[in-house]
Chains A and B, each alone.
Chain A
Amino acid sequence: MMPAWLAALNPGWLMILVGIAALFIPYRQVRQVLTVGTPIVAIALLVMAPHEVDLLTAEALDITFSFYRVDSLNFIFGLAFLIASLLNAIYALHTNNPRQDGMALAYAGAAVSASFAGDLMTLFIFWEITAITSVFLVLQAGTRAAYFASMRYLVIQILSGVILLDGLSYVWRYNGTLSLEAFQSFSDPGAIYIFIALGIKAAFPFMHNWLQDSYPKASVVGAVVLSAFTTKLAVYGFARLFPGFDALIWIGAIMTVFPVFFAVIENDLRRVLAYSLNNQVGFMICAIGVGTAGVGNALALNGASAHAFAHIIYKALLFMSMGAVLYRTGTTKASELGGLYRSMPWTTLFCIIGGLSISAFPLFSGFVAKSLTMSAVAYEGVSDAGMVVVWLMLLFASAGVLEHSGIKIPYFAFFGHDSGKRVKEAPFNMLLAMGMAAFLCIAVGLPAIIPGFGYQWLYSLLPYPVEASSYQPFTLEHILTQMQLLVLATFAFILLKRFALYPAEKPGTILDTDWFYRKAGYGFVQWSGTVWGKMGPAMSAMFSRLSERAYKRLESAFSPRGEIARGGLSGGASIWTAVILAAVLLMSFLSS
């Protein structure tokens, strides 16, 4: 039994505090011990924490704050965040950057704290801390592009926070509580605001470009750290507050499909991974939408949670492998890469494992995680024709994932046309972090030859473990159909390459919805500025001329030199004034 004070120690708070302390520690070795050791301690604290209890509360302004509450839903998200934080710390061991070390740890801590928040206000506070801490990871790249991208990123993240605050104000005003109860419909007070706030962070379609804009411009380590937290925190938020909302099914399905088309023409492989992140989050969002509003569906929520866990690990692995390539070659542009397996065989191997996992090949983590979602949607499809369309979209997107993350990333970076680049293999710490992530991708995806291990370990962590234990991903039928999908899609790639139908990787900027604010919006503001710049002086000149003329007229009439001041008229004016005054007095007497 843990002492009460230790049980009440939120692992996320510990990470934030150590992260802030790390900013001021000049000794690299001390920081390394802290950045690696803190997530390990945090994992131990979380594993020992009792569930379904408010472990740390406070009262202020008639509001009860619940700072630390663990349950079956947030446990798996928190655990995945902590594992990702540990992997990130190992991946960053070769660097000597206090700001990056500190902010990476504090960012992870904020995401963990937000996921263990027991009320909306606590969630909001840590929601904002994730925004503020993460922007430093983009800034650490030190480039002009990263600077501007980080400013756009910050604006959008803070906007999300402000809308969340707006929403929770409505909840407080009408419900008199800030508890994290699931909404029943969009007409609930504050529901729509909170939905939009979460949607921005989950990178919903048309709100998604902050992700593709900033992550690929972050530092080598920064992009790996960023990939794990913000979007999955939003996924958790949806699972907590909006389970079973139909809108999420379609939004999620669209999210899985549209990034696939951008990823195929994108040249920057870290940006391809950012699109891939969008697509993967789409699967989770879609799963959360399945079921009854306010309740969800046990199989689908298990699917979203399992997918989030597996995704955090394999996406980090893919970003790590591209980070290693960037570290050694200075670029992740597909048009400048190729043939790197000769110099970086271990990185190649780990990247392929990440690719196999995200593509959901049997024996890898994506297979056991995505199966739950696909099955839940298919069950709904029995009674709802619309869900058949959704299911087909998800299946389409599964082939799309294989295209951009399973094949394009490893093929164009490590194989394909030999770029002639001969570099060193990634530093040992990077290989160690990638190796650990690759191990998890395989370990979680294996059949449970020993009961409780393999996929059963992951399933035992899910929000509905009883329902999860009755689900069997390794059936002959399921393996066959999944292999059909993936092998035939791979064969399509080989065929298209053989007949030169696969579009060549070309350098360039791919336009996306950010064009509307980066080009059209910015252009409009610039045009308005130019117009105002010309109109302003013209209007000033016009007003100045008008006032000058008016002054002259008045001056010529009323000044001591004016017409009225002349002696001849002054007597006449007095008589007229007296006549008018008399008339007014007479009228007022008559009317009273």
Chain B
Amino acid sequence: MSNDTTPPVRDTSGRFVKTAAEKVNAMSRTSEDGIHPMSRVLFGWTEKKGIGGIIFWGMAGLSILLVLLDLVVPRHEKIGIANAVGFYALWGFAAFSFVVLMGWPLGKLLRRDENYYGDLSGPPADIDPAIADRLNAGEPKAFEGEE
């Protein structure tokens, strides 16, 4: 019996499944340079030239649009000040900025050396053994309680 006798439908189906399986396999294998093929599909757009500007102006435009929409969407807030046009926008912007900017003085005030408490340790024991071997070369791998 030769291959020629195989019905064409089954052959096509088989080829499709095989191609699909190969494609899925290829998409799940990280290349030698450490790039996962899905990263281009999902986040390739973040590497496009000028994407920073597009995001910046896009978000600026969206922000203005959302505030303008406040003029046409009727609001029935229980708390009086929340009815003001752009209240949520202003509060969100101000709160976020305040938190981040407070990071400067707070960092200076509260940040100490990494080993401030004298218990600086490596990663936990259950990380990828390949990484653990590299990181813990020459160091004791586990701490059993003794000083």
Contact = CB atoms under 8 A, between A and B. Distances in A.
A348 interface: yes
Contacts of A452: none
A528 B41 CA distance: 63
A304 to B, nearest CB: 19
Interface stretch (A188-196, A499-507, A562-570): A499-507
B95 A399 contact: yes
Contact of B88 (A222, A264, A484): A484
Interface stretch (A328-336, A362-370, A461-469, A537-545): A328-336
A499 to B, nearest CB: 11
B125 A476 contact: no
A218 B100 CA distance: 28
B103 to A, nearest CB: 4
A300 to B, nearest CB: 14
B135 interface: yes
User: Which among A264, A344, A484 has the highest number of chain B CB atoms within 10 Å?
Assistant: A484
Contacts of B75: 477, 481
Interface string B52-66: 100110011011001
Contacts of A501: 100-101
Contacts of A493: 96, 100
A277 B119 CA distance: 24
Nearest to B42: A345
Contacts of B125: 140-143, 219
A83 B77 CA distance: 36
A23 to B, nearest CB: 17
B66 A422 contact: no
A400 B126 contact: no
Nearest to B135: A330
Contact of B93 (A221, A423, A489): A489
Interface string A63-79: 00000000000000000
A402 B92 CA distance: 10
Contacts of A512: 110
Interface residues of A, number: 91
A551 interface: no
Contacts of A218: 124
Contact of A327 (B59, B63, B90, B127): B127
Nearest to A331: B123
B60 A142 contact: no
A506 B38 CA distance: 31
Contacts of A344: 36
Interface residues of B, number: 77
Contact of B100 (A382, A403, A476, A506): A403
A534 to B, nearest CB: 23
Contact of B104 (A326, A345, A481, A503): A503
B141 A346 contact: no
A95 B127 CA distance: 10
A476 B120 CA distance: 50
Contacts of A489: 92-93, 95-96
Interface string A459-489: 0000000000000000011001111111111
A388 interface: yes
Contact of B112 (A144, A146, A421, A511): A511
Given A143-B121, A395-B88, A484-B67, 10 more contacts: A146-B121, A220-B126, A265-B107, A327-B127, A403-B100, A480-B66, A480-B73, A492-B93, A509-B112, A510-B111
The 5 closest A-B pairs by CB, nearest first: A422-B34, A142-B125, A141-B124, A143-B121, A485-B92
22 contacts: A142-B143, A148-B119, A265-B110, A328-B128, A341-B46, A343-B35, A345-B38, A345-B42, A345-B43, A349-B42, A395-B91, A424-B30, A481-B82, A481-B87, A491-B93, A492-B97, A494-B59, A508-B112, A508-B116, A509-B111, A509-B117, A518-B117
Interface of B: 28, 30, 33-36, 38-39, 41-43, 46, 52, 55-56, 59-60, 62-63, 66-67, 69-70, 73-79, 81-82, 86-93, 95-97, 99-104, 106-107, 110-117, 119-128, 131-132, 134-135, 141-143, 145
